[in-house]
Amino acid sequence: MREPEVEVQVRRYLANEGYVVLPRADRVGPDIIATKDGKKLLVEVKGDRPGHRSSPATVNVDVLTLLGQIVLRKGQLLADEYAIAIRPTHRRLIDKAAPVLLDLSVKVLLVSDTDVRRIH
């Protein structure tokens, strides 16, 4: 599932959870911004790429990029809450970072082909 498809799944999930999901204003910046109960949630999303199979190192690059994006967004104080949305291919590396993500109060959403669920 490519990144735009993952983003659609996460937007649908958040709407079902009672969030008001804002339309994406620009291709640069946060992937998803949503609000609920007066709080702003910022979500960075990563999808599958063809290189994940032919060059597994691209998974590492994508995960490190994702972690850098969410840390920068949090450092800029762009929202009240933060989350990342990943595919199963990213989970092994994200699980290694889970204690730090927990310390930073960053939620982790796992996007399968059929559903979205919070794993951290």
Residue type, 102: L
Alpha-carbon distance values, 118 to 6, 27, 29, 59, 76 (Å): 14, 25, 23, 20, 24
Whole-structure pTM value: 0.94
Q: What does the pLDDT read at residue 56? A: 78
Question: Which residues of the chain, if any, have pLDDT below 50?
Answer: none
pLDDT for position 14: 98
Residue with tokens 């889970």: 98
Q: What is the pLDDT of residue 52?
A: 75
pLDDT score, position 13: 98
Q: What's the pLDDT score for residue 81?
A: 98
Residue 5 is encoded by which pair of tokens?
A: 């498809």
